[in-house]
Amino acid sequence: MTVFADYAPWYDLLYRDKNYAEETAFVEARLREHGIVEGKLLDLGCGTGLHALAFARRGWDVAGIDLSPEMIARAKARAEQTGLSIPFRQGDAREAGPEHDFDAVVSLFHVASYQTSRDTLAAMFRTAHAALRPGGVFFFDYWYGGAVLAQGVETRVKVIEQRPLRLTRIAQSDHDERAATVTVNYTLFCEDMDHGTIRRVDEAHHMRYWFPFEVDTALNASGFQLATHAAWLTQDAPSSKSWAAYAVARKSDAP
């Protein structure tokens, strides 16, 4: 069972305010800046497939991998419903699979921060390297350590109502500064207002924030040439204002 096993059925509703089309357009623009204008794209850690579907609608030949079988099942169902042919498979981002000769690999929504050690981060990077053609481009986002340390962690509550459901998510975080990790303890209450029932789901998500020099070291060791780091959805340098940053790297020689 993966960390998203119970969370998966409510995942899309919880993130219905996330603008996948805008994010996909932004990532595509950065790929174009680095010479990748079309072709094969692998979504590494694809979740329920919404980014992958958005890329496919923009003309990319897309495939997707995710560790969670529950997420992959939802991604496959969504692709079938929309008439798009996307090969989604269950797999570990830290283990290279049959995917090869992709023009681009993207890994979005902090998959890199689910890698909580330098070794597992480098393993994820090697998977991307194995999937890319020579000169292919890797785009991924991560939690930026400077912002996490500057802002600290806090308890957050999110409520979404879509009748007959009301979802309440409480996120309580524990910060281990020595390990550079944050454990986010989610408590989710799903209320069926028509039937007066409530289901509770508890999950702990163990995350790591990274600094650009750590990311660069892992990229170099995994066979990449770094292109840039920036704050999410901008082209500005990472800053203390936003936990989300991204990096773009190009495949060089084999590690």
* pLDDT tens string 135-162: 999 999 999 999 999 999 999 999 988 8
The whole-number pLDDT of residue 1 equals: 43
The whole-number pLDDT of residue 14 equals: 78
Which parts of the chain have pLDDT scores under 70? 1-9, 253-255
The whole-number pLDDT of residue 16 equals: 80
**Neighbour count for residue 76 (Cβ, 10 Å):** 18
Q: What is the pTM of this model?
A: 0.93
In angstroms, the Cα distances linking 28 to 23, 59, 76, 209 are: 9, 11, 23, 25
Domains and CATH numbers, the chain: 8-144+210-251 (3.40.50.150), 147-208 (2.20.130.10)
The whole-number pLDDT of residue 3 equals: 47
The whole-number pLDDT of residue 231 equals: 98
The whole-number pLDDT of residue 208 equals: 98
